Amino acid sequence: MKNFNEKIIWENSFPNALKLLRVMKLTVFLTLISVFCIFAGESYSQTKKLTLKMENAKVEDVLATIEKQSEFYFFIYSEKVIDVERKVSIDIKNENIETVLNTVFEGTNVAYSIDDRLIILSTPELISNKAQVVWQQATVSGKVTDASGQPLPGVSIVIEGTTQGTITNADGEYTLTDLSPEATLVFSFVGMRTQEIVVGNQTTINVTMEEEVTELEEVVAVGYGTLQRNRISTSITSLEPQKVTVQATSSIDRSLEGQIAGLSIKQNTGAPGGGAIMEIRGSSSIGATDQPLVVIDGVPMLNPYSKFQSPLSLVNKDDIKSIDILKDASATAIYGSRGSNGVIIIETKSAEEGRTQFSFSAEGGLSQMMPVEKLDLMNAQEYAQWRKEVEFEAGEYYGYEVTLDDVPEEYRYPEKLGEGTDWQDILTRVAPQQNYNLSVSHGTDDFKGYFSMSYRNERGKVGLE
């Protein structure tokens, strides 16, 4: 009762004393927390001990070792000021970070500032005047759009030389932190040209991505004009002219053999320069021709596809600029029913503006029938023996008597004939062939001209001298 009475007397005598006491307790508590936070922020750099022993090592390697041993990380204001390639030797055991830095940068004009676990390296002037500004500008943000101003989500933004980066959000916006002024941001997106931008003192970097059109500008000849490859939806095969010109053949159709899927070429005559049967994706007609239409520089060829001459023999291989094969029936929309069997479009070279060019090529070779290609025929003795046996076998079959006098005189004694004359060897020969091509082109602002001339001499493998 005494304590309770004393408490009542105290509250009645000093009504604001308890409230003042509570405020004092709260103030002391907050002050202790603030002091503890300050002590904790400074204590890591003061209490963390480092041990280093490195001989003739680069400064950047020493700093990297410090980061591995501790939670410190370095911010270098400018590598033009800090020579990170300089080599030092250090042997320190259980020392704080200040001692280590003083040893590493002894005799240089390098200053440092320690903010918790962040260490800024620069010169004394920059440390005092600009280091804080640089650190505040280390965060960069911006927006990425296309050429029409529409935001591009999913654009990859990477710091060059590192794996640090981010991607833009649905609004094309991005944010990157902890950047140095020397950092280079690499912006990349599928179908867009990659861009590289140095951060410098910029805090906002907006980028407009440009379309990458290098792989989309391939031109294909269709009908009476050309279209970009990315605008074609039908089946078209293009053949590089080099694959045709390097082959020593008498005509283009023979050079196309085995080069294009779905194109079948069969030689139907052994005559030099003879034509060939061409089919695209097999036969498509019973009564009409199966041959594809050949168009040279926009002009459909009306050659009847004689077996003695190919319509492609009218074109010099060295004058070809492009070869395109239209395989679908959609070619009929351009050429009508003539294109129902496919179309072979050939575009020849033309003069280039501001250039004069001379081109000459020569090729030669020999053509010979190989032994495996020859027919296994009977010689004179074998043929006479066969004719003699035929006479006797006929008499035996029909039941009449046959004597040697009934056999033709030239076949009565085969053993006297020997092997005779190998007419197959006489009729075949080593056939030389040669081909010469000359072209001249000249182009100006007002005139473009292309002249070409070729001479070919091909002899057949079968013939008499």
Query: Could you report the per-residue pLDDT of 66-83, keeping only the tens digit for each?
Result: 888 888 877 765 666 678
The pTM score is 0.42
What percent of the chain clears pLDDT 70, i.e. is strictly above it? 72
Backbone angles phi, psi at 27, to 5 degrees: -65, -45
Provide the CATH topology of domain 48-135. Answer: Phage tail protein beta-alpha-beta fold (3.55.50)
Cα distances (Å, whole numbers) of residue 349 to 185, 318, 321, 322: 44, 9, 5, 8
Residue 105 CA to residue 93 CA, distance in Å, equals: 17
pLDDT the model gives residue 434: 86
Q: What end-to-end distance do the CA atoms of the chain give, in Å?
A: 151
- In the three-class reduction of DSSP (H, G, I as helix; E, B as strand; rest coil), residue 154 is classed as coil
Instruction: Specify the range with the lowest mean pLDDT, choosing from 141-145, 378-382, 434-438.
Output: 434-438
> Mean per-residue pLDDT for 333-339?
71
- In the three-class reduction of DSSP (H, G, I as helix; E, B as strand; rest coil), residue 180 is classed as coil
Backbone angles phi, psi at 221, to 5 degrees: -80, 125
Q: Which two tokens stand for residue 295?
A: 């168009």
Q: What is the mean pLDDT of the chain?
A: 76
CB within 8 A of 298, min separation 6: which ones? 224
What pLDDT band is residue 10 in, cutting at 50, 70 and 90?
A: very low
pLDDT tens column, 309-319: 667 777 777 88
Cα distances (Å, whole numbers) of residue 169 to 28, 152, 210, 399: 47, 8, 19, 105
Long-range Cβ contact pairs of 281-285 (< 8 A, separation 24 or more): 281/327, 281/342, 284/340, 284/341, 285/340, 285/341
pLDDT the model gives residue 13: 47
What pLDDT band is residue 20 in, cutting at 50, 70 and 90?
A: low
pLDDT tens column, 408-422: 989 999 998 888 888
Residue 119 CA to residue 50 CA, distance in Å, equals: 15
Give the count of beta carbons closer than 10 Å to the beta carbon of residue 240: 11
> Mean per-residue pLDDT for 34-54?
65
Backbone angles phi, psi at 369, to 5 degrees: -75, 125
For domain 219-348, give the CATH number: 2.170.130.10
Q: Which two tokens stand for residue 361?
A: 């090529």
pLDDT the model gives residue 333: 66
Cα 455–461–463 angle (5° rounding)?
Answer: 100
pLDDT at 441 over 80: yes
For domain 137-208, give the CATH number: 2.60.40.4130
Cα distances (Å, whole numbers) of residue 289 to 261, 342, 343, 368: 21, 12, 13, 33
What pLDDT band is residue 132 in, cutting at 50, 70 and 90?
A: very low
> Mean per-residue pLDDT for 270-276?
67
Encode 270-323 in three state secondary structure.
CCCCCCEEEEECCCCCCCCCCCCEEEECCEECCCCCCCCCCHHHHCCHHHEEEE
